[in-house]
Amino acid sequence: MANITWIMEDGSEISAEVKDGLNLMEAATANNVPHIEGECGGCLSCATCHVFVDPEWFAKIGEIDDIEDTMLEMTDVEREDNSRLSCQIVASAALDGLILRVPEPE
Amino acid sequence: MAAPIVIVGAGQAAASFISRHVALGSQQPVLLIGEEAHPPYQRPPLSKKYLLGELERERLFIRPLEWYADQSIELRFDTRVDSIDRDHKKIITDDGESVEYDKLLLCTGASARSLPADIGGTLDGVFTLRSIVDIDKMSPQFQAGRKLLIVGGGYIGLEAAAASRQLGLEVTVLELADRILQRVAAAETSNYFRDLHSGHGVNLRESVRMTRLLSKDGAVRGAELESGEVIDADLVLVGIGSSPNTELAQAAGLDCDNGIRVNEICRTSDPVIYAAGDCTSFFRHGQQIRLESVQNAADQGDLVARVLAGEAVTYTALPWFWSDQYDCKLQIVGLNQGHNQTVVRPGADASSMSVWYYRDAELLAIDSMNEPKSYAFGRKIIEAGKHPTAAQVADPATDLKALAMS
């Protein structure tokens, strides 16, 4: 289990306990986090689960691969250095306390 | 109390409508009626991870069951809608109940075509692939070493072929046309997937006409080809396309044309009835078309929620699709219908390439195989209405990102 917090642009927060093995796009849609759609179900084709991750978590989350890196070029809100697709982040105890910031398309 | 928005059909389009309805804070009650026993779920993994047994059923659900209750969405499963009484704005379910609607949203989807019973279409061991139930019937029988015959070399058939090879079945694919994917892709894409599947031990047979399935004691045992050749099979999967579920709309007198006809705001010929997803047919770039895709279902469902909330929006979404087979990720953007030229862009290695479809100088669509840059930047290029030349695209030194941003 990991406690995950999503913070929206207006400062509102949603927190949830996420079971190991679920990815954080699934966890976001299950918990009604706005702006996370995950249309392709997590197969790196839609780029609708974009989040910003505090750099201190990078090592625990794992490296970004080439496909995710490319797909981040397609996000509605332009990517930044700490952008990730949340379908590629899989919950585990190591991520307990993780904070994700959710960009809001215009 | 005002009558609810009633949604008939609990698939992707319905889920996207509800998600947007909730996100917009719309207060009007919603009743979702589905024929299956499950809340809306993702169909694409059925022929991939779910068939492989790598994904538990609940993870197919677009939202967990309890989410709907939390949003005060009323659900009714295992229920078929038999008719629409447009004069009284009611639907009548198969248990005889009539439910009033304020607005009606038809998300009835499509059904897999099957083979006629007189050539063996209803024998034991013959399957189609569209629903959780279909896979749950197939899975226990899809055991290593068994012989699977797939009728139809389209995307569903090929995805099932890939999963079945991974499960250790012996797989033969029969395609009537002279190449697999003939209806949906250029020869270059067909060639890529022929090589991919042949390399994984699939016996691909193109330009063959199957005349009938053969049986023993009521179960399928093989297929007979026009040439007289017999192919042995323990199991048969029929992947010969699907038909839109328009019976309900047609019986209610709504305009249909290979799908329920909708306008640019997904409204049918009745001003309080909308439709979204695989069941719709609509006008795009001068043609009446029907799309079977998650993108279309999701975007149309989303659009109807916005329209009902009073937003001035119209449907202009760029189509996109994907397929996963073995280690190949296929991503498609655009619609290639009407192309008269294709250009191949080589990828970084032998397993990656993209095929760019043009009508004269106009870029229409891209098939990208293990080549996400072509897909991601190609999508931006098409969305921006840019039309790079064939020579630019074919040159691997061309920076697609620069083209997209220029």
Are B64 and A27 within 8 A, CB to CB? no
Rounded percentage of chain B residues whose pLDDT exceeds 70? 100
CB contact under 8 A, A67 and B372: yes
Chain segment B18-43, per-residue pLDDT in tens: 999 999 999 999 999 999 999 999 99
Tell me how far apart the alpha carbons of residues B39 and B192 are, in angstroms, rounded to a whole number: 37
Domain range B5-110+242-308, CATH architecture? 3-Layer(bba) Sandwich (3.50)
Q: Hey, where are the domains in chain B?
A: 5-110+242-308, 114-238, 327-405
Among B298, B316, B293, smallest CA distance to B20 is for: B298
CA dihedral (A78, A80, A86, A87) positive or negative: positive
Per DSSP, A88 falls in state G
The model's confidence at residue A63, banded by pLDDT at 50, 70 and 90, is confident
Inform me whether the C-beta atom of residue B322 falls under 8 Å from chain A C-beta atoms. yes
Inform me whether the C-beta atom of residue B43 falls under 8 Å from chain A C-beta atoms. no
Q: Which residues of B touch A74 (CB under 8 A)?
A: 376, 379-380
**What tokens does B325 get?**
């087979």
Matching CATH number, A2-98, of 3.40.50.300, 3.20.20.150, 3.10.20.30, 3.90.78.10:
3.10.20.30
Chain segment B99-158, per-residue pLDDT in tens: 999 999 999 999 999 999 999 999 999 999 999 999 999 999 999 999 999 999 999 999
Tell me how far apart the alpha carbons of residues B195 and B369 are, in angstroms, rounded to a whole number: 13
**What tokens does B169 get?**
């079945």
Closest residue in chain A to residue B22, using alpha carbons only: A32
Chain segment B348-387, per-residue pLDDT in tens: 899 999 999 999 999 999 999 999 999 999 999 999 999 9
Smallest CA–CA distance, residue B12 to chain A, in Å, is: 9
Q: Where are the alpha helices (DSSP H) in B1-119?
A: 12-23, 65-70
CB contact under 8 A, B59 and A22: yes
Q: Which residues of B touch A66 (CB under 8 A)?
A: 372
Whether B114-238 and B327-405 share one fold: the answer is no
Are B356 and B342 within 8 A, CB to CB? yes
Give the model's pLDDT for residue B310. 97
Matching CATH number, B114-238, of 3.40.30.10, 3.10.350.10, 3.40.50.300, 3.50.50.60:
3.50.50.60
Of B22, B298, B376, the CB nearest to A74: B376
Tell me phi and psi for residue B283, to 5 degrees. -90, 125
CB contact under 8 A, B329 and A39: no
The model's confidence at residue B95, banded by pLDDT at 50, 70 and 90, is very high
Q: Note the ipTM here.
A: 0.95
Instruction: Please name the amino acid found at residue B288.
Output: Q
Q: Examine the pLDDT at B406 and tell me if it is beyond 90.
A: no
In DSSP notation, B123-148 reads: SBTEE--SSHHHHHHHGGG--TT-EE
Q: Which residues of A touch B294 (CB under 8 A)?
A: 39-41
B-contacting residues of A 59-88, CB under 8 Å? 66-67, 70-71, 73-74
- Cα of B267 vs its chain's centroid, Å: 21
pTM for this one? 0.97
Matching CATH number, B327-405, of 2.40.10.10, 3.30.70.250, 3.30.390.30, 3.10.20.600:
3.30.390.30
The model's confidence at residue B1, banded by pLDDT at 50, 70 and 90, is low
* C-beta atoms surrounding B218 within 10 Å: 9
